[in-house]
Structure 1
Amino acid sequence: MQLLYACVNVCVFLGGLAEEVDEKVLHAAFIPFGDITDIQIPLDYETEKHRGFAFIEFELAEVND
């Protein structure tokens, strides 16, 4: 088993991405859901295109008691 991405906060996996989707598109689409700390779009090194999936990491909201 290969670890693709380790997430410290809240991480969302997105699959089935179209070729034209990039980090800017994902950021614009998901910023309404919270502060984004990282976006990873793994590449296929042979084709130099993304592999059709991504990980978006959101900052955890602090809970005050």
Structure 2
Amino acid sequence: MTIYVGNLSFQATEEDLQEVFAEYGEVGRISLPTDRETGRKRGFAFVEMKDEAKEDLAISELDGAEWLGRELKVNKAKPREGARPSGGGRNFSNSPN
């Protein structure tokens, strides 16, 4: 179960996201992509949670919430259509519903 978190502040860290999502349940993994050329954060993340009911609660509570000066876009990540699997074989779209 993976959550897409968009419109993130560029100052947000994996530790920040861990702290926020841990309030809703056990967090498995966090991915905070960076630009290949500049190394800068791209303004979105993926958060894996262990329990789907708690994932749904986190989505409903955090979508639209203001955090670090930005209004978050939070929803279930969707596999990218037509994308080739890379690395772990998971490709998620970074677009909201």
Place the TM-score, normalised by the shorter chain, in its bin: 0.7 to 0.9
Identity %: 33
Q: TM-score, normalised by structure 1?
A: 0.73
Q: TM-score, normalised by structure 2?
A: 0.50
Q: Which runs of 5+ in 2 are unaligned?
A: 53-97
**Per residue, is there more strand in 1 or in 2?**
1
Higher relative contact order (CA closer than 8 Å, sequence separation 6+): 1
User: Which residue number corresponds to residue 57 of structure 2?
Assistant: none
Equivalent of 1:33 in 21, 24, 31: 24
**Across the two proteins, how many residue pairs are aligned to each other?**
52
- The 5 Å alignment of 1:1-65 reads 10-60=1-51
* Alpha-carbon offset, residue 50 of structure 1: 1.2
- Misfit runs of 4+, over 6 Å: none
Q: Which runs of 5+ in 1 are unaligned?
A: 1-9
Letter in 1 for 2:21: F
Cα RMSD, aligned residues only:
1.2
